[in-house]
């Protein structure tokens, strides 16, 4: 039996990973029993959860908590051959075979952006345990792998790099009207400090002569309770900055915003993969991304690169792409070609190979 932790199915990055891979993995492993541990009410939202004979074990334990460690370990069925944790917060008390997906090591690499000593301690304990307990580790980029090896130097033989993907049907439609009344720059992501939204707002202030808006798609908590600098800048740019909140990957509105944007800007200080950049390229939206982290690995020569610490550089590259139609068209074409290298079906196939290998000789009894 394969058991999968799907409690983060509604999250942004990790949630997209779960929603894209679990149905594909299940389709490839129809001969095996698969148990999902997560919020049963949330799972009902997704049609694929009813198309496979999953066993569902309800678990609403919050992530990064003591409760998750106690409850999750207790609810894993005894007949489980392999437990797959799609995030580093794996069950410490589980003693069976364990596959862990490590999307990034942000909590360790940039502790100054992780709120509260208890969160930093939790991450430290979890990553030390990854090295000791995991039978297999999935990373979403070579950058992510090398970052993990800085903290788990003896785990190289356990790590497999499998890139994230994009849906094959993610193509722009000429029938789509623009979702916004004016030309706009797009940012997609949460508003945590390492996403560097404050410097993007600073750069946007320098572009006051440009007839365009800034559209931000992502969770809004940061503007309500978070960085006061974001609140201050957003209020000064109130008429030109439009914060739409979170739009799920499956919502067609997200595709329309990608397809209609003049450019997507991701000025992240830390990014192991950068899924919005890949999604934007697939829909013919030119991208400007940070030269740090895993973004160059994903975007290749199909993007403009910025120093995310340099506000003037961010502004200059945005202005360049807004005023040079030839460059913009070139990046659009290059982005579509680049995005074809990444595919969720391919991601799932490679993931199934790792799972099958870890199930090993016991797979026949699943």
Whether residue 158 is found in the same domain as residue 40: yes
Whether residue 155 is found in the same domain as residue 190: no
Whether residue 7 is found in the same domain as residue 128: yes
Residue 71 lies in a domain: yes
The whole-angstrom separation of Cα 17 and Cα 36 is 15
Whether residue 210 is found in the same domain as residue 335: yes
Q: What is the pLDDT along the chain (366 residues), one digit of tens a residue?
A: 999 999 999 988 899 999 999 999 999 998 889 999 999 999 999 999 888 899 999 999 888 888 999 999 999 999 999 999 999 999 998 999 999 999 998 888 887 777 677 778 888 888 888 888 899 999 999 999 999 998 888 788 999 999 999 988 877 666 688 899 999 999 999 888 889 998 999 999 999 889 999 999 987 654 434 555 665 566 667 788 888 888 888 888 999 999 999 999 999 999 999 999 999 999 999 999 999 999 999 999 999 999 999 999 999 999 999 999 999 999 999 999 999 999 999 999 999 999 999 998 443 333
Whether residue 217 is found in the same domain as residue 306: yes
The DSSP 8-state label assigned to residue 10 in this structure reads T
Residue 35 lies in a domain: yes
Whether residue 298 is found in the same domain as residue 355: no
CATH number, domain containing residue 311: 3.40.50.2000
Nearest C-alpha neighbor of 252 from the set 283, 219, 274, 221: 283
Whether residue 135 is found in the same domain as residue 279: no
Residue 11 lies in a domain: yes
172 in Cβ contact with 259 (< 8 Å): yes
25 in Cβ contact with 105 (< 8 Å): no
Whether residue 295 is found in the same domain as residue 322: yes
pTM: 0.90
Whether residue 219 is found in the same domain as residue 320: yes
Residue written as token pair 């999750």? 72
Residue 179 lies in a domain: no
Residue 78 lies in a domain: yes
Whether residue 18 is found in the same domain as residue 159: yes
Residue 293 lies in a domain: yes
Expressed as residue numbers, the domain containing 196 is: 184-339
Residue 182: C-alpha distances to residues 211, 321, 339 (Å):
8, 16, 27
Say how many domains are in the chain: 2
Residue written as token pair 């679990």? 22
The whole-angstrom separation of Cα 221 and Cα 95 is 37
The helix-helix angle for 228-236 and 197-205 (nearest 10°) equals 30
Q: What is the per-residue pLDDT for 142?
A: 97
């Amino acid at each position: 039996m394969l058991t999968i932790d799907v409690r983060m199915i509604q999250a942004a990055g990790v949630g997209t990973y779960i929603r894209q891979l679990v149905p594909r993995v299940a389709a490839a492993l129809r001969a095996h029993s698969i148990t999902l541990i997560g919020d049963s009410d949330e799972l009902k939202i997704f049609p694929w959860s009813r198309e496979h004979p999953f066993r569902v074990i309800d678990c609403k334990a919050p992530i990064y908590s003591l409760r998750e460690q106690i409850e999750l370990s207790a609810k894993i069925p005894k007949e489980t051959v392999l437990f797959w944790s799609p995030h580093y917060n794996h069950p410490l008390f589980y003693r069976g075979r364990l596959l862990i997906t490590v999307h990034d090591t942000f909590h360790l690499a940039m502790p100054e952006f992780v709120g509260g000593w208890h969160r930093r301690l939790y991450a430290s304990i979890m990553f030390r345990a990854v090295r000791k307990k995991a039978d297999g580790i999935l990373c979403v980029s070579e950058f992510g792998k090398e970052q993990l090896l800085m903290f788990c130097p003896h785990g190289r033989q356990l790590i497999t790099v499998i890139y994230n993907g994009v849906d094959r049907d993610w193509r722009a439609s000429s029938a789509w009207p623009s979702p916004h009344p004016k030309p706009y720059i797009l940012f997609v992501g949460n508003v945590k400090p390492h996403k560097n939204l404050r410097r993007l707002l600073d750069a946007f202030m320098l572009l006051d002569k440009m007839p365009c808006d800034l559209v931000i798609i992502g969770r809004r908590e940061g503007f309500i309770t978070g960085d006061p600098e974001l609140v201050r800048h957003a209020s000064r740019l109130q008429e030109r900055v439009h914060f739409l909140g979170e739009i799920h990957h499956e919502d067609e509105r997200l595709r329309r915003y990608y397809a209609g944007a003049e450019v997507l800007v991701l000025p992240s200080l830390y990014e192991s993969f950068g899924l919005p950049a890949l999604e934007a390229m697939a829909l013919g939206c030119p991208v400007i991304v940070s030269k740090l982290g895993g973004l160059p690995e994903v975007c290749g020569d199909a993007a403009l690169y910025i120093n995310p610490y340099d506000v003037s550089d961010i502004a200059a590259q945005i202005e360049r792409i807004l005023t040079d139609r030839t460059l913009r068209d070139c990046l659009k074409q290059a982005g579509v070609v680049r995005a074809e290298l990444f595919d969720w079906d391919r991601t799932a196939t490679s993931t199934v190979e790792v799972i099958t290998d870890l199930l090993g000789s016991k797979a026949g009894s699943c």
